[in-house]
Amino acid sequence: MVLQASGVMSIPATVSVDNQLPPSWMAHYNCADVSMVTSGYTSRLWSQDHHPQNWTKYQVWEWLQQTLDMHQIDATSIPFQNFDLDGRQLCNMSFQDFTRAAGSVGSILFQSLTDLKWNGQYGQTDMFIPGDIKTEIDADFPCSILPFKEEPSFYSPSELFDIKSSFQPNITLASPAPSSPDPKRSQVKRHNPRGTHLWEFIRDILLNPERNPGLIKWEDRSEGVFRFLKSEAVAQLWGKKKNNSSMTYEKLSRAMRYYYKREILERVDGRRLVYKFGRNARGWRESEK
């Protein structure tokens, strides 16, 4: 993993991200760097002087993103609304709270947090992954959205509702595993072994308003039509995620156009900066969340 050497980004002279970023994000750009909002901020967020206990909701959110990225787990595979918490609430969560909130991914999150709480840095201990949870692509389930599955065997029925002490957020407990108890099905599936694809990155920005302060907006939510508001800022974020400081909207949009053929995106004629999710794009519909 390549850690960012400093908070200074190399931005092409022609690009002024400052002009495009909303004020609410400038602090992140200036104080930490763009990686605070993507996946490359590994060590900065949890520096020694910033114990998870002290995290803001935003930082909890970033930790979540980062941990999922690290494990190449699709960000949409867990219900993010279950993590609408600050650091103190997060630290109060038990292992079972995590598995309830995020299914089998919960154990990964729990271990990550435990490492951070006790070691101050993630990954200093071996990963504890109950049941040898694996991530894999499931050919039967090409959708990037994974059904949120509970592991009923992890806890007794009485435990199921005894989470109020430390975990108040609006948990919507998923119904027990829909059908087959096939162990393969209950594994966390790795969405794509090379990390998040561009369209998923775009989708995730759209789906998470708190990390999307005016970068991209829905034009027609039900139809999957969206518009770039800050094209160069999005490109910079994408570049940051890919460790490529010379990314531009020009190049990002070329990659977007390649999606037309694969029907991940559909053309929207005559409208600048407007795209539409196609039949092969998953996870953007409200009903899929």
Partner DNA sequence: ACCTCGTTTCCTGGTT
Partner DNA sequence: AAACCAGGAAACGAGG
Distance CA 55, CA 61 (A): 9
E-assigned strand segments in the chain: 216-220, 225-228, 265-266, 274-277
Shortest distance, position 262 Cβ to DNA, whole Å: 7
Residue type, 219: E
Distance CA 263, CA 251 (A): 19
Residue 218 interacts with DNA (CB under 7 A): yes or no: no
CA 120 to the chain's CA centroid: 22
The answer to whether 83 and 60 are in contact (CB under 8 A) is yes
Residue 19 interacts with DNA (CB under 7 A): yes or no: no
Tokens of 81: 């609304």
Name which position in 48, 126, 270, 286 contacts DNA (CB under 7 A). Answer: 270
Name which position in 167, 249, 277, 284 contacts DNA (CB under 7 A). Answer: 249
**Segment lying near DNA (by CB under 7 A), choices 49-57, 123-131, 148-156, 237-245:** 237-245
Residue 90: count other Cβ atoms within 10 Å of its Cβ.
24
Residue type, 40: G
Residue 278 interacts with DNA (CB under 7 A): yes or no: no
What does the angle CA 221 – CA 275 – CA 273 come to, to the nearest 5 degrees?
Answer: 115
The residues in 153-192 that bind DNA, with binding defined as CB under 7 A, are 192
Residue 242 interacts with DNA (CB under 7 A): yes or no: yes
Tokens of 91: 């630290």
The answer to whether 98 and 167 are in contact (CB under 8 A) is no
Residue 141 interacts with DNA (CB under 7 A): yes or no: no
Distance CA 110, CA 269 (A): 46
Residue 226 interacts with DNA (CB under 7 A): yes or no: no
Shortest distance, position 51 Cβ to DNA, whole Å: 31
Tokens of 273: 């900066």
**Segment lying near DNA (by CB under 7 A), choices 46-54, 124-132, 216-224, 256-264:** 256-264
Name which position in 116, 188, 205, 252 contacts DNA (CB under 7 A). Answer: 252
Name which position in 126, 182, 269, 286 contacts DNA (CB under 7 A). Answer: 269
Name which position in 93, 135, 232, 281 contacts DNA (CB under 7 A). Answer: 232
Question: How many residues make contact with DNA (CB under 7 A)?
Answer: 32
Residues found near DNA in the complex (CB under 7 A): 14, 192-194, 197-199, 231-232, 238, 242, 244, 246-247, 249-255, 257-258, 260, 262, 267, 269-274
